[in-house]
Amino acid sequence: MLRVALKMLIGDRAKYVGLLFGITFMSFLVTFAASYFCGFMTRGFALISENPAVDVWVMDPAVNSTEHTTNLPASALDRVRSVEGVRSAVPLALAVADVHFPNGRFQSFQVIGIDDATFSSLPPLKDNTSPAVLRTPDAALVDPGGTEGKLRTPLLLEDQWPRSPRLDVPTRTLAVGDELLVNDHRIRIAGLSNALPRYPPRPLLYTTYSNALRILLPERHRLTFVLVATAPGVSPSELATRIKVQTGLRARSAEDFKADTVRWFLANSEDVGDIAAMLSLAMSVGFGVTGVMLYMFTAENLKQYAVLKAMGATSGLLLTMIFVQVGLCALLGTAFGIGLCGLVGQILADTAGYPFRMMWFTPPITGVMVLLVSTVAAAISARPVLKLSPGLVFAGR
């Protein structure tokens, strides 16, 4: 009987294709929304991912993400270094500054001040550039940080540093040796980095901690994080608790701080609402197409179901036939949707830098949502079949 159910489904090509299209479209949207969510969440804690050697992040007690920070007094660094179990502790400064280009255009950058001695927190550099270039006075590294077209400087020398801005002149990408202006301090580009893309996207400017103190506007405190490596035999969680007790500062292991940042984005990012709306739309479209097409298919085959019921098929068997038909469409549609989403997402990620990342749990989530919608649609379509009278086959209709 199950083979009969599948032949009934495949025999009606139009409705079969319609069912597959509805489920495939829903599967694609659900997978894409979940992958986009994972993509921008992982970009949200890119600063943490760039520092795999850091075991514990120490910050002000009010800080709960890399995106929403306030600074610490300089003495916090020595207090952390005095805690037993700390193998090393280095400073990290984060700030936002308007950087002026040679043609008068300005762009907001995130300035990242790294430790002068160890260059901790410095991402890989392009063209085999040595980190030692940052020891040159006024040197800095730049990175697009997930943006496009933000690092453009005038192509011609006569268009650089004019008395009045020249915003419509030909431009090129920043290169080694170019100069920028930060708070009336001229800095020289010593190299380009391969930093992880950020969310939200913003250009990045890496320099030494001492240079950051010089070029940024004066503030009482400039230390944003203390980056700690644990001594052998000490777990990050244990050391984080020890630092918190002895210094009163907030200390989190790298994995815990990533989770904190994700929770912060969940509570504060507008994109979470957009993703929820996309998921609702996907399920509504999927339910509408699947439900309507399946109901039409069932209604047009009531006479065949009546014949089967007159031949002794029970309501349970007929219900099983309907669910087998829906199950086949759900299985194929889910596979097509996930595969199509993976292909399109990878193309967007490679060509446009789209924050797409399909995690291991994304296909199961898609499968559960498709199963939920398909089950509801099948239950609605099964209602007239369950109420069906075998006498319909003799009614002449």
With H, G, I as helix, E, B as strand and everything else as coil, classify residue 171. strand
320 CB-near residues (< 8 Å, 6+ apart): 1, 2, 5
pLDDT in tens, 333-342: 999 999 999 9
pLDDT of residue 134: 94
DSSP single-letter state for residue 57: E
Sorting pLDDT into bands at 50, 70 and 90, what band is 163? confident
pLDDT score of 392: 56
So what's the pLDDT on residue 316? 81
d(CA 356, CA 345): 6
Concatenate the DSSP letters of all residues of 201-262 into one string: ---EEEEEHHHHHHHSPP-S--B-EEEEEEPTT--HHHHHHHHHHHH-SEEEEHHHHHHHHH
Contact 31, 363 (CB under 8 A): yes
Cβ-count burial of 184 within 10 angstroms (0-12 exposed, 13-18 middle, 19+ buried)?
Answer: exposed
The amino acid occupying position 270 is E
In the prediction, which pLDDT does 51 show? Answer: 93
Question: Is 343's pLDDT higher than 90?
Answer: yes
Q: Is residue 2 scored above 70 in pLDDT?
A: no
Q: Which residue has the tokens 């509504």?
A: 284
pTM above 0.85, yes or no: no
Whole-number percent of the chain with pLDDT over 70: 97
What's the pLDDT score for residue 1?
63
Tokens read off for 25: 């479209």
Q: pLDDT tens across 84-134, in order? A: 999 999 999 999 999 999 999 999 999 999 999 999 889 999 988 999 999
Q: Answer yes or no: are the C-beta atoms of 373 and 306 closer than 8 Å.
A: no
Among 120-124, 242-246, 289-293, top mean pLDDT goes to: 242-246
Best CA proximity match to 256, nearest among 85, 88, 63:
63
> How many other C-beta atoms are found inside a 10 Å radius of the C-beta of residue 79?
18
The C-alpha atoms of residue 365 and residue 269 are separated, in whole angstroms, by: 22
CA 346 to chain centre: 13
Buried b (16+ CB within 10 A) or exposed e, 338-376: bebbbeebeebbeeeebbbbbeeebbeebbebbeebbee
Q: Residue 13 pLDDT more than 90?
A: no
Q: Give exposure, 198-226, as e/b (b: 16+ Cβ within 10 Å).
A: bbebbbbbbbbbebbbebbeeeeebbbbb
Q: How many helices (H) and strands (E) does the chain have?
A: 11, 11
Query: Over the stretch 297-340, which tens digit does the pLDDT of each residue have?
Result: 777 777 777 777 777 778 788 888 888 888 888 899 999 999 99
Instruction: Identify the weakest region by mean pLDDT among 140-144, 186-190, 226-230, 327-331.
Output: 327-331
* 375 has pLDDT over 90: no
